[in-house]
Amino acid sequence: MRGYRIEEHPILKFRRGRVVKFRFNGVEVEGYEGESVLASLYALGYRVFSYSKTGRPRGAFCMIGKCSSCLARVNGVPNTRICIEPVRDGLVVETQSGLPEIPSETHGDVSEEEIEADAVVVGSGPAGLQAALTLAGHGLKVVLVEEHFKLGGQLVKQTHRFFGDTAYYGGVRGFRIGELLAEKVRASSNIKVLTSTRVYGFFAEGYLGAATVTGEPRHYLIKSKYTIVATGASERLALFENNDLPGVMGAGGAQTLMNEYGIRPGDRAVVVGSGNVGLIVAYQLLQAGVDVKAILELRDEIGGWFVHAAKIRRHGVPIKTRRTLLRVEGHDRVEKAVSVAVDGGYNPIPGTEEAYDVDLVLLAVGLQPSYALLGQMGAVVKHVPELGGLVPVRTWSMETSIPGVYVAGDLSGVEEATAAFLEGELAARSILEKEGLADGGRAEVLHYLWNVYRMSPVLERARRGKLSVTLSEGEMEELRRGAG
């Protein structure tokens, strides 16, 4: 079985951990400590991790625990998301076929801990990290909860240098920012960090419930005066024939493989979508040694920034506008992708099909905010297409319709990481101001976010979207009375 490990990379050096041995469908396999089970298996060439009720193979898709494509049986427990399950010695991993059998083993007693804090931050991407550090820096006791076994959210796989103000990490590569902030968080005595832990809901007793998703079973009941929800976004699927075939992957999923774990997601690829994510991921595929055949764009124009598109074109990758994916073909993984030209109404034009021999189809067709927790808590949400879907209505301070509950980052509407830092900072500073701990920073952040950062013409759409769900304190009070 051929390996997919990247040995040479122009930017990244992969420091791999100790070799660990585990079993996959009865075969002994190896991975490196610090990887997910899925990453280790992918590096060895495995592509199918479960089968649907009707027997269709399922592979890797999101790679961050948000979809249900990689549910497998781990140590007798079915429906384990192996993309966020850390690989370790002696694990027994088995593919599932259709509905699983019930668990055959149980693991230990659940220990419970009650935690009181000034603020709880859910999610450790750019928004959550920034918010936690700002609050903790002013003496507040913070609990930071992250579902993944690593801190950093999607920063860990961003290899490009960020744009913008150096105050918000302009000029620094994304994964470096993530490492830097995670180190600071770990070093702060005011922040309690819970990784591999999912906040599963808010309850009438006044607690957020949280539980570990892997390892030792622990249950946390968290009570806090303030909550910042920064759960990010997940990738959208596109509609075409066989879109569930292994090898069809979210662009972010491929980034996780190649930039976080140093694993080549395929040999030959087509990218669907020419927004910034599509353009950047195409470039990163080239860096990882993948042959990128084409980028397909449904619309008349390239969606992303000129600077990214120009780089792609210099490498000879065609960006084909007014074309979309018609279908993919293959037995248990992608072997071929077929695109088609579309007319003004985005309908396929027969006879214009083009086939590509590829083993990878990356979807960069947008993100949708992960609003489930805020929805469960009862926050008023609104559908805003410019922001990717349902997003919470909020004040200029990022407070939702639930008093004391704030939102920041992609969950508030999909934008760039810089906006997430700014919103995290703004939410934190608004809380500090309420607590009488402000040092004048809030107004500056608010001003920079709206009057400087979002004034860029390329952010016009996002700015318009966010304006449509941002209320004054008075308007929010009215909404709360109506919703109550």
CB of 100 to other proteins, least distance (A): 6
Tokens for 401? 């319709």
CB of 123 to other proteins, least distance (A): 20
Tokens for 32? 């490196």
Cβ proximity to other proteins: between 114 and 343 the closer is 114
Helix 417-434 / helix 126-137 crossing angle, nearest 10 deg: 30
Secondary-structure percent of the chain, ordered helix, strand, coil, rounded to 5: 30, 30, 40
CB 283 within 8 A of CB 315: yes
CB of 425 to other proteins, least distance (A): 32
Q: Which residues bind other proteins (CB under 8 A)?
A: 76-79, 98-107, 110, 200-205, 207, 209, 221, 376
CB of 48 to other proteins, least distance (A): 20
Sign of the C-alpha dihedral computed for residues 121, 127, 133 and 137 taken in this order: negative
Cβ proximity to other proteins: between 201 and 318 the closer is 201
Name the nearest CA neighbour of 278 among 327, 321, 246, 244.
Answer: 321
CB of 204 to other proteins, least distance (A): 4
Cβ proximity to other proteins: between 213 and 286 the closer is 213
What DSSP string describes 385-451?
A: GGGTEEEE-EETT-B-SSTTEEE-GGGGS---HHHHHHHHHHHHHHHHHHTT---SHHHHHHHIIII
CB 271 within 8 A of CB 294: yes
CB 116 within 8 A of CB 146: no
CB of 96 to other proteins, least distance (A): 11
Cβ proximity to other proteins: between 102 and 239 the closer is 102
Runs of H (alpha helix) within 169-290:
174-187, 251-255, 276-287
Cβ proximity to other proteins: between 55 and 351 the closer is 55
CB of 210 to other proteins, least distance (A): 12
Name the nearest CA neighbour of 408 among 322, 460, 329, 397.
Answer: 397
Cβ proximity to other proteins: between 14 and 149 the closer is 149
Cβ proximity to other proteins: between 6 and 62 the closer is 62
The secondary structure element, H or E, covering residue 57 is strand 57-58
Cβ proximity to other proteins: between 198 and 454 the closer is 198
CB 387 within 8 A of CB 466: yes
Runs of H (alpha helix) within 91-173:
126-137
Rounded CA-CA distance 60/71 in Å is 10
In eight-state DSSP terms, residue 71 is: E
CB of 464 to other proteins, least distance (A): 28
Name the nearest CA neighbour of 300 among 262, 343, 247.
Answer: 343
Cβ proximity to other proteins: between 1 and 204 the closer is 204
CB of 430 to other proteins, least distance (A): 27
| DSSP bridge partners of 369 | 233
* The one-letter amino acid at 345: G
In eight-state DSSP terms, residue 301 is: S
| DSSP bridge partners of 169 | none
Contacts (Cβ under 8 Å, ≥6 apart) of 351: none
Cα 474–chain centre separation? 34
CB of 78 to other proteins, least distance (A): 7
CB of 221 to other proteins, least distance (A): 7
Contacts (Cβ under 8 Å, ≥6 apart) of 166: none
Cβ proximity to other proteins: between 139 and 375 the closer is 375
CB of 400 to other proteins, least distance (A): 18
